[in-house]
Amino acid sequence: MRVVVVGASGNVGTALLRRLATDATVTSVVGVARRVPERVPPAPYDIASWCGVDLGASGPDEPVVHRLTEVVTGADAVVHLAWAIQPSHDRARLRATNVVGTRRVLEAVRRAGVPQLVVASSVGAYSPAEGDQPRAEDWPTDGVRSSSYSVDKAAVERMLDEAVQRLPSLSIARLRPALIFQRASGREIGRYFFGPFLPERALGHVPVLPWPVGL
């Protein structure tokens, strides 16, 4: 099985590469990222051949879609994990990568006739709800208007809804996780949450444990 991972160098992409490395049914992996390793990378990045593509590149879609189509042609599955959350002040740049970039991936998958697409959505795509009762997966995914992250995730959900209707031969799986952490990405994740307010040397010693209300 040939698998293409878009956003393979990120937090979740790295974890997925580790998993694919142990799967005997996977015969080849292609990693797509804006910045790719220049030399032979360490594990788990060494299991993939790499292709540099900027999903949110300015200008028309066609050059990016054409390159992506070349990359995903012949794939048995494409896993789309790429998502930018920085720079948080540059709304246009984030939307270009997250929403326009997803549109470009979808079009490349369509052109190449890839049979399976997996897309990382988010619990943040869900519409607000009163109370704390659990909601099923069929709860509306119209997002929260005050959150640009949620608005963009909801926009991607609408794209996927349309693709399901338009491309019956394409099997689309969408995942809606909450926050995903792993030890190897601790410093990077810490910078996202604490920014300049906490020295990097202290990130491993913060006496704070997130604990959701009700647990």
99-138 residue pLDDT tens: 999 999 999 999 999 999 999 999 999 999 988 888 899 9
Asked if residue 126 is part of any domain, the answer here is yes
Counts of helices then strands in the chain (DSSP H, E): 6, 6
Is it the case that residue 45 has pLDDT exceeding 50?
yes
Cis peptide before 44 (omega within 30 of 0): yes
**Domain harbouring 119, CATH code:** 3.40.50.720
pLDDT at 42: 93
User: Does 194 map to a domain?
Assistant: no
Domain assignment present for residue 204? The answer is: no
The two three-digit tokens of residue 125, written as one number: 């795509």
Residue 15 lies in a domain: yes
How many domains would you assign to the chain? 1
* Domain that includes residue 165, residue range: 2-180
Note the helical H segments in 147-210: 148-166, 186-194
Within a domain: residue 185? no
pTM: 0.85
Amino acid at 75: A
**Residue 130, domain member (yes or no):** yes
- 7 found inside a domain: yes
